[in-house]
Amino acid sequence: MTRTRAWVGLAAVLALAGCSGTTAAADVEQVPLEQQSLEIWQRKSPGGPSDQIGQELVRQFTEETGIPATLTSISQDFEIKLQQRAVQRNLPDVVINDTAQLGNMQSQGFLREIDPADIAGAQDVNERAWDGARSYSGEVYGVPMTAHTVALFNRKDWREDLGLDVPTDWESLVEMWRGYVEDDPAGTGKQVGGLAVPGTTERGYVSWNTSTFFLSGGGEYFDELPGGYRSAVAGDGSVAAATWIRDLACTEGVLQPGASSQDTTNAKETFQTGGAGSYLVAPYELPSLVDSLGEDLEVIPPPPGPAGLITLAEGNNTYLMAGSDSESAQERFAEFVISVKGQEIGMAGHEDGNLVRLPVNSTVDMSQGRDAEEWELFQDLYDENGRYVPAVPNWAPFLNASANTLNALISDCSLDVRAEMESLDRVFTAELADQEVLAP
């Protein structure tokens, strides 16, 4: 049985499992609106700043609508716990989760299909954000909540101490990183890295974190053709981009020590505590890094590579879960989240833990709550250079496979890059076939 057919069977089972009763999701009897309530989950640390902002968002939703709602923040084993709830026939009503998780969740039958015309205020949500809520076949399975892209957080004091200008191309970028490694700009005598990279395979981190370099270097994941996709990871541009990423570890030696085993928490701490001079990340880290590094920090656009500048675009969607008996309340919550009031609560000014990084509502004036020019930089990069991950039915297997390859390349410098990318190409091709989107 192909994996796609297995997914279809699993989706049917989980659609049943996700019901509050024993009928299929489409047949769940709806309770009257005045009796509806919501259980909401988000992938955040419980008790942390994002949890607190989320609790305020939900509190004000209930205050405005009269609909009771509770928010649970979960950071560990989120997908596992969601699957457990599905098996228990008790999915939460709403899940706030990454745009890149749409295919994974939809393929398991967790999500309601949404008609934006049924969501009040949907016309104010910018079209690029809706791109992150659409499946491979074009249906909408989420309501955008926030968007973001990445920029280069850099130690301005180190760069200036070395007498270097802001890098404008990859050559000057690597020159700056070599200076951080070789010239001890921190004056501590300790070994530091030029760039802190979450290089672990966990959740595909190394592929996610280097995708901006991969795409800017001429790499592509797929070629889109009539009737589907073809893998492009063994093309010359992809091999060249992967080679450049590998060389950061193997030839230039500018990645932080232990990069291949570090996750995002480790990499951020490495940068924050002076273990590396740069960190490529999204604006959700801006408040805490500004607080800890102050005027020593600068946020700059990643320099363009051979293919120009392409930055990873991401965000979170509000997912309305299948099997709920409170569909009207689900929609009301999505409408509140995309409203000006909901977006401003989620933006939380310049506070750490903000849930809305770049507002998806085009009528929101970000400058009213945030005076840091870095936020405008992220907005410009998102508008002009951002690209979402490809809209295959399920991106997760591709992300994980590419992470395995890139992790191996930065861990074992004896590996042949082209051979590894050709092996990855075969994995991609088989996965495209399993998902039934391989172009003939």
Q: What confidence tier does 419 reach under pLDDT thresholds 50, 70, 90?
A: very high
CB of 256 closer than 8 Å to CB of 196: yes
Output the DSSP codes for 158-225.
Answer: HHHHTTPPPP-SHHHHHHHHHHHHHS-TTSS----EEEE-----GGGHHHHHHHHHHHHTT--SEEEE
What is the per-residue pLDDT across 121-161, written as a single tens digit (0 to 9) for each? Answer: 999 999 999 999 999 889 999 999 999 999 999 999 999 99
34, with CB counted inside 10 A (0-12, 13-18, 19+), is exposed
Instruction: Please provide the average confidence, as pLDDT, over all residues in the chain.
Output: 92
Superfamily of structural domain 28-148+314-387? Periplasmic binding protein-like II (3.40.190.10)
The confidence score (pLDDT) of residue 367 equals 79
Q: What confidence tier does 15 reach under pLDDT thresholds 50, 70, 90?
A: very low
Angle, helices 78-87 vs 3-17, to 10°: value is 70
Q: Between β-strands 386-387 and 69-73, what pairing exists: parallel, antiparallel or unpaired?
A: unpaired
What is the per-residue pLDDT across 346-392, written as a single tens digit (0 to 9) for each? Answer: 999 888 899 999 999 999 988 777 877 899 999 999 999 999 998 89
User: Which residue in the block uniquely carries the two structure tokens 């977006």?
Assistant: 343
Cα–Cα distances in angstroms (integers) from residue 254 to residues 121, 243, 249, 275, 384, in the given order: 47, 14, 6, 11, 29
> Of all residues in the chain, what percent carry a pLDDT higher than 70?
94
HSE of 369 in the Cβ direction (CA atoms, 13 Å)?
Answer: 19
The confidence score (pLDDT) of residue 210 equals 98
| Amino acid found at 316 | N
Q: Is the pLDDT of residue 63 over 70?
A: yes
Cα–Cα distances in angstroms (integers) from residue 284 to residues 268, 317, 349, in the given order: 12, 16, 12
Task: For residue 61, report the phi and psi dihedrals to the nearest 5 degrees.
Answer: -60, -45
How far is Cα 237 from Cα 240, in angstroms, rounded to an integer?
5
Which part of the chain is CATH 3.40.190.10? 28-148+314-387, 151-312+393-434
User: Which residues are within 8 A (CB) of 308 and not within 5 positions of it... i.e. 6 or more apart?
Assistant: 216
> Any idea how long the chain is?
440
Q: In this structure, which topology does domain 151-312+393-434 adopt according to CATH? A: D-Maltodextrin-Binding Protein; domain 2 (3.40.190)
Give this prediction's pTM. 0.87
CB of 43 closer than 8 Å to CB of 74: yes
Q: Is the pLDDT of residue 344 over 80?
A: yes
The confidence score (pLDDT) of residue 17 equals 39
